[in-house]
Each structure stands twice: as C-alpha cells, then as structure tokens.
Structure 1
Amino acid sequence: MTSETNKRSRFWAQVQAELRDIPLAFKKERKVPLLNGIDCYQISFQSLGNETIYGFLLLPQTTKACPLVIEFLGYMNYLQEPFQFAHWPLIGCGCLVIDNRGQGG
C-alpha cells in the first residue's frame, strides 16, 4: 500500500469509529399523502458532528415489497417537496431521498 492509501484507510476507519459512537436517533413521521396510492414519510437521523440528516421516504401503497431507489442530493440541490420524487412510487418503486450533511433539510 502506498502512503496515500494508508492515509485514506486511516481516515475512513476513524470516521467509521466516530459513527459507531453516535446514537442513530431515527425518526419517521407520516405525512399527508401526496397522491392517491403513495405513502409519504419525513425521516431524520443523527450523523457526524451531531448533524441531523433529513429526508423523505415514499412508498407505493399497493406493494408490500418493492425495489427502493436511494437518492443522495448534492450540494447544488436540497429537499423541497416530496412531490419531486413521486415518479418513483408511481412506477412501483419506493424512494428514500436525503439531503447532504449541512444542507439543513
């Protein structure tokens, strides 16, 4: 391994150790349905630096088990309305979309 690879490995090992010590504090709150046939939840959990990460979980009501699309929004985008992601449950997929750390949700 090169010195750079060792540095990266140590960095990520430290980050993982920090994450293990943070209580997840996961919350899921049902929201008013966007459209007929879609269940919508606002979610949040704790992350590094005691940041609260926010997101939406949208699920098709007609399916017990379904594929799940996970969208991590970048720094040029942020959560606004869950309706932005309604196309996923309308085609039978669940969607978990979360803001980046520091975006505020």
Structure 2
Amino acid sequence: MSAMIWAPFPDHEAARTAAGILLDEKLVACANILGSVESIFDWGGERTNAAEIGVLFKTDATILDQAVARIEDLHPYKAPAILGWRADAPARATRDWLGLLAGKIS
C-alpha cells in the first residue's frame, strides 16, 4: 500500500534539505515541494500566521511511521505539523514504484 506525508517547512532550503536526506535514506520516493502556503494557526494561546513551504512526500505504507519519525527529527521546528496517511487507491504504476522502497518489487 502506498502512503503520503504532508509537512510544512519554514523555507525552501529546509524543505529541500529534508527531501534530499529522505531520498538518500530511501524513506521516500518523491518529495513535491509545492511552494509558499499561508498558514494561519493558534500557537501558545495566540492567533498568528506564517508563510511556509508545503511538501508532499510519497512513500510505501510499510515505512510510513519510520519516514514520519525521520521528518520530525530533521525538521527545524520544535513541534512540526507532520501528517502521514495510507493511500489505498494508488495507480498500479505508482504502487509498484513506491513498493520498491519497501523491497516489495525488484
């Protein structure tokens, strides 16, 4: 099964660095660095906003928890918002490609 991970980063450099490490470590097969997003959120009892860089990572569900944990380790925020989920309806080619990460296909 395939999986996706969403994580906003403070800037393009931090997003690109994390993506490169995750690709090198074979924890993701792709990172879509989407560009600037405006985040509006409550933090420490106050409403604030920030410009962030959104990243959508593609991986295999068998290593989803490991990938999420690694993103958290690499992330420059003290409490990053990282969300991972299993995608149960990928296209066959996508499923096969992401399955290579988990050694399901040679």
Q: So what's the TM-score if we normalise by structure 1?
A: 0.28
Which structure dedicates a bigger proportion of its chain to helix? Answer: 2
Greater relative contact order (CA < 8 Å, ≥ 6 in sequence): 2
TM-score, length of structure 2 as denominator length:
0.28
The structure whose Rg is larger is 1
